[in-house]
């Protein structure tokens, strides 16, 4: 991983809150057969263990009450045959970071920017 998620512990550690406009997206390939979800993937699309050489994309945090919140970091992994999207989150049941695959697309004809 290129970056571990950071949990802000004081108001001074909070990132600046802002929205970034996406000016343009690359063209979607003609055959962009992506799969997204938890546990719905074909065998061989993902490494057996969480990859260690993924690219950090972003981190998001939200709360629905003062006692209930969630922080997820997202990573993109380029495998031999597929691009895969991974989510890393704090599992407070076990007291450690967990990483799960949440999406993939075959690598053929899909550039880095399109993935």
- In whole angstroms, give the CA distance from residue 115 to residue 78: 9
The whole-model pTM stands at 0.70
Q: Give pLDDT, residue 56.
A: 87
Instruction: Check residue 12 and give its pLDDT.
Output: 78
Query: Digits of tens for pLDDT over the chain (115 positions)?
Result: 556 677 777 777 776 777 777 677 677 777 777 777 776 666 666 667 778 888 888 888 888 887 787 888 999 888 887 888 888 988 888 888 888 888 888 777 777 777 6
What is the CA 104 to chain-centroid distance, rounded?
11
**Rounded distance between C-alpha atoms, residue 45 and residue 105, angstroms:** 9
Check if the beta carbon of residue 78 is closer than 8 Å to that of residue 111: no
């Amino acid at each position: 991983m290129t970056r571990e998620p950071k949990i802000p512990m004081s108001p001074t550690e909070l990132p600046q809150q802002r929205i970034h406009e996406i000016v343009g997206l690359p063209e979607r390939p003609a055959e962009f057969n992506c799969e997204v979800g938890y546990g719905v993937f074909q065998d061989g699309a993902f490494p057996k263990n969480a990859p260690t050489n993924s690219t950090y994309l972003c981190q998001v945090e939200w709360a629905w009450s003062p006692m209930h919140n969630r922080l997820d970091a997202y990573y993109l992994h380029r495998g031999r045959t597929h691009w895969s999207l991974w989510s890393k989150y704090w599992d407070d049941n076990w007291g450690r970071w967990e990483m799960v695959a949440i999406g993939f697309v075959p690598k053929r004809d899909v550039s880095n920017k399109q993935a």
